[in-house]
Amino acid sequence: MPLSAPPSATSLLAVDLEAVVENWRTLKGRLERAECAAVVKANAYGLGAAAVAPALAAAGCSTFFVALLEEGMALRPRLPGATIIALSGFLPGTEKDLAGHEIVPVLNSLDDIARWQAFARKTETVQPAWIHLDTGMNRLGLSAVDTQTLATEPDRLGGLEVKGWISHLACADLRFHPSSSAQLGRFHQQLARLPKARRSFANSSGICRGRAFHLDLVRPGAALYGINPTPETGNPMRPVFRFAGRILQVRPVDTGMTVGYGAAHVVVRPGRIATIAVGYADGYPRSLGNRGLVHIGGMPARVVGRVSMDLITVDVTDLPDSVVRPGGWAELIGPHQTVDQVAASAGTIGYEILTGLARRCHRVWLPPAKGD
Ligand SMILES: *Cc1c(COP(=O)(O)O)cnc(C)c1O
């Protein structure tokens, strides 16, 4: 992946759209008859939903999940004819915009259902909805008691077209975790008492836990973007992006000198420090101070000292001068170090690293997104 960026760009996120599409096809290939949707919330996990979603649509994806109404509204003109579903954006007062932009809400409570029904009645329309049944996350969705109420009072769904029922796995990333099959069992029990509609259960990891979890529609996010959905084993997904920072300066240092805030690194031999224009404001975790690793010209260099807001310092003593040049690039995530590895060193998960990178970087898409 060539790194091409305007002269002013200090950090670069290069997204390989072909790889995203290939990951979507790989996941789809695991399904027997379920539809493969795509989760593009949080700006496609930071990679740029305006480029990612149309690329997936061109490959045949026709259902997209966002978290917020605004995310759906931004995508609507770029996804003509596609279904856009908002997972958690159904706030009072948003009904008109949802309907106007043809964004289908996920209803997460009996109150949500009543409010969407009231809107349908008021506008004399039939409104589409997905309904979320909680099966063990205890985060969003109808509780078991609410689901029972819904089952015994079907009038609550009058005026609504239930497109489907959704639930969400708590431990899909842990292989054979007993709660996954327990959740699936509860989902089936609840569905047996409710009107027939499509059923959606699996996120990226859920897809990898067997056909029983696929049901009618799967909702992968992370795996599309190259995060390993099966952390217990090798990553079946292709990496889809590189994150690089520009080398600003290379300076000699001598024994006894310290580097950066808090004098948190003490130099123990004469050497060289390269300063790279990426910091925690760019989503590079501060926890990687004195821990992180970058690659310059394919060679590893350790982060020394603290991560500042806009800068990190790396020890390039063992790298040849010819490789470490101001204006050149240091790879922070890419072929030499996956997002999951960086996350592990930082004590977090790939999801958090990826969504955090989006803040200030220059993004490029390969091949360039159509219409962008
Ligand atoms: C974010 C999200 C997904 C996608 O999960 P991944 O682990 O990224 O595949 C699916 N369903 C719901 C309800 C979500 O919130």
Cα 221 to ligand 1 centroid, rounded to whole Å: 6
* Contact (CB, 8 A) for 42 and 75: no
Whether 365 maps to a domain, the answer reads no
Give the mutation target among 47, 65, 132 for probing the ligand 1 site: most ligand atoms within 8 A of CB.
65
Whether 12 maps to a domain, the answer reads no
Whether 5 maps to a domain, the answer reads no
pLDDT at 1: 45
Instruction: Please say which residue of 161, 192, 225 terminates a domain.
Output: 225
Active-site annotation holds for 280: no
What is the DSSP code string of 49-73?
Answer: HHHHHHHHHHTT--EEEESSHHHHH
Which residue in the list 28, 41, 225, 351 is annotated as catalytic?
41
Which ligand 1 atom lies nearest to the CA of residue 204? 9
Active-site annotation holds for 284: no
Whether 167 maps to a domain, the answer reads yes
Note the pTM of the prediction, 2 decimals: 0.95
Q: How many helices (H) and strands (E) does the chain have?
A: 11, 19
Pocket of ligand 1 (CB under 6 A): 39, 41, 87, 168, 203-205, 219-223
Instruction: Please say which residue of 225, 257, 277 terminates a domain.
Output: 225
Q: Whose CA is nearest to atom 3 of ligand 1?
A: 203
Whether residue 332 sits in one domain with residue 273: yes
Cα 203 to ligand 1 centroid, rounded to whole Å: 5
Whether residue 182 sits in one domain with residue 50: yes
Whether residue 116 sits in one domain with residue 33: yes
Q: What digits encode the pLDDT tens for the residues 144-184? A: 999 999 999 999 999 999 999 999 999 999 998 999 999 99
Cα 62 to Cα 38, 350, 367: the distances in Å are 8, 26, 21
Whether residue 306 sits in one domain with residue 261: yes
Q: Whose CA is nearest to atom 15 of ligand 1?
A: 87
20-22-24-29 Cα dihedral, nearest 10 degrees: -170
**Among candidates 139, 217, 135, which has minimal Cα distance to 184?**
135
Cα 266 to ligand 1 centroid, rounded to whole Å: 43
Whether residue 261 sits in one domain with residue 221: no
CATH code of the domain in which 116 resides: 3.20.20.10
Whether residue 111 sits in one domain with residue 42: yes
CATH code of the domain in which 271 resides: 2.40.37.10
Report helix, strand or coil for 283: coil
pLDDT at 372: 43
Ranges in the chain, pLDDT < 50: 1-2, 369, 371-372
Cα 116 to ligand 1 centroid, rounded to whole Å: 23
Q: Whose CA is nearest to atom 13 of ligand 1?
A: 168
Whether 357 maps to a domain, the answer reads no
Q: Whose CA is nearest to atom 4 of ligand 1?
A: 221
Whether residue 57 sits in one domain with residue 127: yes
Residue 341, C-beta contacts closer than 8 angstroms, at least 6 positions apart: none
Instruction: Please say which residue of 192, 225, 258 terminates a domain.
Output: 225
Find the farthest-apart pair of alpha carbons in the chain and give their distance in angstroms, rounded. 78
Whether 174 maps to a domain, the answer reads yes
Whether 24 maps to a domain, the answer reads yes
Domain around 119: 17-225
Which neighbouring-strand residues pair with 14?
242, 364
* Contact (CB, 8 A) for 98 and 53: no
Instruction: Please state the domain count of the chain.
Output: 2
Whether residue 294 sits in one domain with residue 188: no
pLDDT at 176: 84
pLDDT at 5: 84
Whether residue 206 sits in one domain with residue 61: yes
Whether residue 163 sits in one domain with residue 22: yes
Phi-psi region of 327 (alpha: psi -120 to 50; beta: other; left: phi over 0): left
Whether residue 331 sits in one domain with residue 192: no
Whether 344 maps to a domain, the answer reads no
Cα 195 to ligand 1 centroid, rounded to whole Å: 24
Whether residue 158 sits in one domain with residue 47: yes
